[in-house]
């Protein structure tokens, strides 16, 4: 089953899921093994692999490790056109629709298109919306864009609707790596009600209460990265909470 089909079914059935974001710069072999061990009994919907700024250039090695040892799909979450490999299962083809930097709206996509057409990967056109969650993040700095204000759900809603009308298949709302807090429930709920697309939420989720709040507001999939780097056992807590909310 493709990753997008999984997301579409989650939305259709009003079920929830979580994904683990793996930043290759922060995940050596020991850390990858720890995540693998913890997810064997409670697998996430996907391993998202990537980051805004990668210095180790080990995306291939991290992807190959999880492909070899797990049946969980690997999904590229690239910061730019240099962060591409062909052996992942899927790629989120991110268009930064919350910003006005043409390179991240379409520029990197033009450069990447020939490679992706030949890769055989599932390419998911994704409306990427960066939201100000209390601190400047790497993605806002590297993309040279201004995030959507935290309390302005109208801008977020209209941005998501524009992405849908342009033919994007997924809305990814992100507070960015190191976000002080998650995106507000009010904004998630408003976007969820405005579009007929799967809604993915990332950034700032550090405990089960915040995870459940995102689910209850309408996020179909919640992506967690930094919290797992600091506390890998959080994976088990998320799996238990997700299972429980899907049973209700």
**Is 127 annotated in some ligand binding site?**
no
**Is 225 annotated in some ligand binding site?**
yes
**Is 140 annotated in some ligand binding site?**
no
**Is 203 annotated in some ligand binding site?**
yes
Angle (CA) 67 53 113, round 5°: 65
**Is 178 annotated in some ligand binding site?**
yes
Residue 39 and residue 17 in contact, taking contact as beta carbons nearer than 8 Å: no
**Is 238 annotated in some ligand binding site?**
no
Specify the DSSP class assigned to residue 150.
T
Q: Which residue has the tokens 């033919």?
A: 167
**Is 177 annotated in some ligand binding site?**
yes
Q: Which residue has the tokens 């996907």?
A: 46
DSSP codes joined into one string, 64-126 = HHHHHH--SPEEE--SSTTS--S-SSEEEEEEETTS--HIIIIIHHHHHHHHHHHH--EEEEE
Pairing relation of β-strands 170-174 and 74-76? unpaired
**Is 112 annotated in some ligand binding site?**
no
**Is 23 annotated in some ligand binding site?**
yes
The continuous run of DSSP H or E covering 237 comes out as helix 234-247
What is the Cα Rg of the chain in Å?
16
Residue 73 and residue 17 in contact, taking contact as beta carbons nearer than 8 Å: no
**Is 1 annotated in some ligand binding site?**
no
**Is 204 annotated in some ligand binding site?**
yes
Residues comprising the binding site for Mg(2+)? 23, 52
Residues comprising the binding site for sn-glycerol 1-phosphate? 172-178, 203-204, 225-226
Residues comprising the binding site? 23, 52, 172-178, 203-204, 225-226
């Amino acid at each position: 089953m493709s990753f997008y089909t999984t997301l579409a079914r989650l939305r259709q059935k009003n079920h929830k899921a979580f994904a683990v974001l793996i930043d290759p710069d922060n995940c050596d072999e020991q850390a990858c093994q720890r995540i693998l061990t913890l997810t064997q009994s409670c697998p996430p919907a996907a391993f998202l692999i990537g980051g805004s700024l990668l210095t180790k250039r080990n995306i291939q090695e991290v992807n190959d490790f999880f492909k070899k040892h797990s049946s969980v799909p690997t999904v590229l979450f690239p910061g730019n056109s240099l962060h591409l490999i062909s052996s992942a299962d899927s790629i989120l083809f991110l268009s930064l629709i919350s910003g006005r930097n043409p390179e991240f709206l379409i520029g990197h996509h033009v450069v990447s298109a020939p490679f992706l057409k030949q890769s055989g990967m599932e390419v998911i056109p994704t409306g990427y919306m960066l939201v100000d969650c209390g601190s400047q993040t790497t993605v806002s700095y590297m993309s040279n864009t201004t995030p959507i204000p935290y309390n302005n759900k109208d801008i977020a809603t209209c941005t998501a609707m524009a992405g849908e009308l342009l033919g994007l298949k997924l809305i990814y709302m992100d507070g960015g790596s190191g976000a002080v807090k998650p995106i507000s429930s009010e904004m998630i709920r408003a976007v969820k009600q405005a579009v007929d697309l799967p809604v993915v939420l990332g950034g700032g989720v550090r405990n089960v209460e915040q995870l459940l709040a995102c689910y209850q507001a309408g996020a179909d999939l919640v992506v967690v990265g930094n919290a797992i780097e600091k506390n890998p056992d959080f994976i088990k807590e998320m799996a238990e909470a997700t299972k429980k909310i899907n049973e209700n």
